[in-house]
Every structure is written in C-alpha cells, then in structure tokens.
Structure 1
Amino acid sequence: MPAASNAAVLDRFHSAVNSGDPEVIAKAVDELVAPDLLFHAPVPMGVTGAEALKRVWEVLLRAFPDLHVAVEETITEGDKVVCRNTVTGTHRGEYRGLPPTGKSVVYGEIFIFRFAGGRITELRGVVDVLTQLRQLGALPS
C-alpha cells in the first residue's frame, strides 16, 4: 500500500481519537488496526494487540475526557508512518493513582506505525510522561 494511503489511515485514526468517544475509537481500532497488533508503547495493561490499544484510550479518556492529539509532523517511508504529536487535556479523572486535579497538561509524543494490508500492524511510542506527571503535580518540577 502506498505511503500516502497509510498516512490517510492514520489521519482517520487520529480523527477517531480526537472525537473523545470511546465507542468511536474502539470502532476505528477494529477497522484500522490488526487484531494482533505488536504494541511496543510503555503501557503495561495485561492485554495485547488491538485490545491493548483500546484499553489505553479508555484509561486516557477517563482521566482526560477532553484529550486532543495535534499531529505536528508526519513522515512516511515505505510501510511506516512516524508522527510527532502534541497532546493536551484536562485531568478530570483518576490517572496512575492520582485523583483528578483539574489541571491542564501539554506534552509531546512520537509514534512509529507500521502498516500491512491497509491496517496498523505495529506501534512503537515514546510519550513524555515525565512532563505530564510534573504538570499534574505528581512529581517535582
């Protein structure tokens, strides 16, 4: 599949994520992500594959119901798409054991998506959790 088509799939995924609706996100994951997704992000959830990705978004949206992912830069090459994003949200629910603070967060992340057959088959991510936790007051500045 051409790199431009892979980028279009990723655009559809980000649109679903930014809907803030867990059902829309779950449907997009079912449609756009291989069930046996290789998920290399630092989020141990006790599940694997596409189900792990759904779980991550459930946790994030419970904690940050207004979460928004702004894609700042996209690089496509072969079967991979790399995205550098800025994430914003307001802490309104429990997150990593921290009760809601009402504080806003702004942090960066970079993800590498590998595609096969028009679906996301592998995902590697680096999320600036340190900045996120500092903004929530869970760690000193």
Structure 2
Amino acid sequence: MSTAEETANKATFTRVVDACNSHDEELFTATIDEAFRPDLLFTAPAPTEATGAEAIKEVFARLWLAFPDLHISVDDMIAEGDKVVSKHTVTGTHQGEYMGLAPTGGSVTYSEMFMLRFADRRIAETSGVVDVAAQMKQLGLI
C-alpha cells in the first residue's frame, strides 16, 4: 500500500472523529455511511447488540445521551499498510443514564485505542480497547 493510501486512511478516520465531536447526527450518520463498510467487523466493549456500521451509530447515540459534551482527542495515530492505529483520550460529563446508572453530573476522562483495517478505501474492521474500569471508577460504580 502506498503512503498516499495510508495518508488517505488516516484522513478518513480523522473525519470520523471530527463527525463524532460535532454532535451533528446527520453529519455523523453520513460520515459513518461513507467511511465504514456496512458489514464492518466491530469488536470493542460497547453497549450494543447491533452489528456492522450500525453498531457504531448506536454506540454513539447512547454515548451522546449519557455524555452530551463527549469529546474525543486523538493522542496518536499511526498508519501502516491497510491498518490505522489510533490512541484517544475521551472526556465527557455524565448527564444522562449510562449502563443503568442515573446521571451523576460527574466528569469522566478515559483512554481508548482502536486498530482499523481498511478495504476498498473504507473501514472494514475495527478492534478496540476502552478503559471501562476508569469510566466505572469515575462514575462511582467501582
């Protein structure tokens, strides 16, 4: 894979993060539909039973309800071949129900890492590690 394709893959994922941070549901949905294959293989701790690209939409719908000011900061992003690895810091204020917990008004800050595999210029697979323990501790669940 050429450097140009690796750069394009990073730009695609950056567009996804920007759409997440916009909290504009129409922009977000359009970006997910463009950037992800409908048959996406999604493996990450997520409060959804949806599959494919629809899982991404559902996860963020739930996160935005719980954390209306949710923000993802990209700390590092590396591309090699058909893969992009991205490390993030996620912040938000718990203002809606989340995983059965009533709003606490507390702030959360946690880390996550995702590895994405691209096929035909779209994200075909994503595997993530999210520091759920940090979320739960900050929300008082552990």
Q: Identify the TM-score tier after normalising by the shorter chain.
A: over 0.9
1:60-93 Cα offsets, whole Å, 9 max, x none, are: 0000010000000011110000000000000000
Q: Supply the AA of the counterpart residue of 1:76.
A: A
Q: 1:138 offset after TM fit, Å?
A: 1.3
Q: 1:44 offset after TM fit, Å?
A: 5.2
In the alignment, the residues of structure 2 paired with residue 122 and residue 25 of structure 1 have an alpha-carbon distance, to the nearest angstrom, of 18
1:11-62 Cα offsets, whole Å, 9 max, x none, are: 1111101102233211111111100000011225222100111100001000
Aligned residue pair count: 139
Q: Any unmatched runs of 5+ in structure 2?
A: none
Choose from 61, 64, 70 the match for 1:61: 64
Task: Detail structure 1 runs of 4+ shifted over 3 Å in the superposition.
Answer: none
In the superposition, the TM-score normalised over structure 2's length comes to 0.94
In the alignment, the residues of structure 2 paired with residue 121 and residue 111 of structure 1 have an alpha-carbon distance, to the nearest angstrom, of 13
In the superposition, the TM-score normalised over structure 1's length comes to 0.95
Query: Does 2:35 correspond to 1:43?
Result: no
What is the aligned-residue identity percentage? 54
Equivalent pair of 1:22/1:61 in contact (CA under 8 Å): no
Choose from 26, 34, 51 the match for 1:23: 26
Equivalent pair of 1:22/1:57 in contact (CA under 8 Å): no
Q: 1:116 offset after TM fit, Å?
A: 1.1
Query: Does 2:105 correspond to 1:138?
Result: no
CA spacing shift, 1:14–1:23, aligned 2, 3 Å: same
